[in-house]
Amino acid sequence: MSDVKDYDVVIVGGGPGGLCAGLYSARANRKTVCLEKYTPGGQIAITGEVEDYLGFKKIQGAELAMKFTEHAKIFGLEIQMEEVQEVYVEGDYRFARCASGNVYRGKAIIVSTGGSPVFLGVPGEKEYSGKGVSYCAICDGAFFRGQVIAVVGGGDAAVEEGTYLTKFASKVYIIHRRDKLRAQKIIQQRAFDNDKVEFIWDTVVESINGNSKQVTDLSLKNVKTGEKSTLEVGAVFPYIGFHPNSNIFKDEIKTDAGGYIITDQRMETSIKGIFACGDVRSQLVRQITNAVGDGTTAAVAAEKHIEELEDKLKQRI
C-alpha cells in the first residue's frame, strides 16, 4: 500500500524552472513540494560558469543553484529527493508516483523535468562511459589533467564546455559534423581565441576506442571527403544536445516532433491542471532566464487552476 502525501502544488524536477515555480507557489501560501531525483539545480548545478543571468556578472553554476534553492526554501518550498516515475490524473487531483513507492497528490502539478544528454550511439560509447566518456565537463574534467580531450558537437554546450576543459587539458579538439557552429557568437569567439582549442570540421566520430582501463583514441570520418583518421585522446565529452524527459505521463500528453511538451501561454499542457516549464517545454530558447520565466507563469496559472478547483469542490458540498 503506497503512502499518499497531500499537497496543493507538486513540482516534478528541481531545475531553475521548477525552483522558481516552487518559490511562487510557496509564497502564495500553497503547500508545495518539489520532487528531484538528484540535488536541486538541474543542469546549472553541473555547469561551470554562468555569465548570462541578469544580476550575476559571473557565478559558478553550482553556487547559483544553491542560491535558487535557498531562496525558494525561505518561502516554505519543501524539497524531497524522489524519482518520479509516473504522472497521472484521477478525478479532480493530479498524482506523481515515485520509485520509492510514495505517491504525491496535488491540486496541480508543474513538470520541470528538463532533458538528458543525447548519446552518440557509436561503438565504445557505453563501454567507456566513466572511463573517458563523460557528459559532464565540470564533474569529470579534472580527471584528465594534462591530457588531450575531445568534445563532440557545435552548439552552446559543446563550445562552452570545450573551452572550459582547457583549464585541465593540454589540448581540446572540438569535433563538429558541419563547418559552421550553432553556438552563440560570443561563445564561439572565446573558443577561437583560445590557443588550446582546435576545431575538426565536417567530421563525425565513428567509434570510441581504448584499452582495458581508458579511452585511447577516436575513429573519425570526414563527411565531405570520406577520409578516415584516428585521433589520440584521453577522454571524449559528447555534447550533441538534449532530449526532453517527457516520458513520465500515464495519460497522453501533446508533444512536438522532438518529444518536447506543448503548452499554452499559461504553461498548461494538454492535460488540465498539469503545467510544464523550462527545457522540457517546446520553445525556441533554452536558457536559465526563460526557464525561470516559465516557472513563474506556471505557478501563477496553477494558482488560478487551484482557486477554480476549490470553488468547484465547495459548490459540491
Binding of ligand NAP at residue 294 (CB under 6 A)?
A: no
Reference 43, options 153, 98, 109, 117; nearest CA is 117
20's grid cell: 522558481
Of 183, 172, 226, the residue nearest 203 (C-alpha): 226
In the shown chain, the binding pattern of residues 258 to 277 toward ligand NAP, with x for contact by CB under 6 A and - for none, equals: --------------------
How many Å apart are CA 264 and CA 275, to the nearest integer? 9
* Cα of 63 vs its chain's centroid, Å: 17
Give 2 or 289: the residue with its C-beta nearer to ligand NAP.
Answer: 289
- Which CB atom, from 22 or from 42, has the smaller least distance to ligand NAP? 42
Rounded CA gap, 127 and 75, in Å? 45
Closest among 203, 200, 201, 199 to 221, alpha carbons compared: 203
Q: Does 49 bind ligand NAP (CB under 6 A)?
A: no
CA quadruple 15, 21, 27, 33: dihedral sign = negative
The reply on whether position 44 binds ligand NAP by CB under 6 A is no
240 belongs to the binding site for ligand NAP (CB under 6 A): yes
The verdict on 160 binding ligand NAP (CB under 6 A) reads yes
Tell me the closest approach of the beta carbon of residue 264 to ligand NAP, in angstroms.
21
- Residue 157 binds ligand NAP, judged by CB under 6 A: yes
Is residue 177 a contact point for ligand NAP (CB under 6 A)? yes
Window contacting ligand NAP (CB under 6 A); options: 20-28, 91-99, 209-217, 236-244: 236-244
Residues 6+ apart with CB under 8 A from 17: 42, 112, 114, 277, 278, 279, 291, 292, 294, 295, 298
Q: Which of 24, 95, 164, 242 binds ligand NAP (CB under 6 A)?
A: 242
> Which residue number, 67 or 177, has a Cβ lying nearer to ligand NAP?
177
CA distance 76 to 277: 20
Could you tell me the three cell numbers for 225? 571527403
152 is an interface residue for ligand NAP by CB under 6 A? yes
Binding mask 73-112 for ligand NAP (x = CB under 6 A): ----------------------------------------
Pick the catalytic residue from 6, 139, 179, 251. 139
17 binds ligand NAP (CB under 6 A): no
Give the residue numbers annotated as catalytic, written as ranges: 136, 139-140
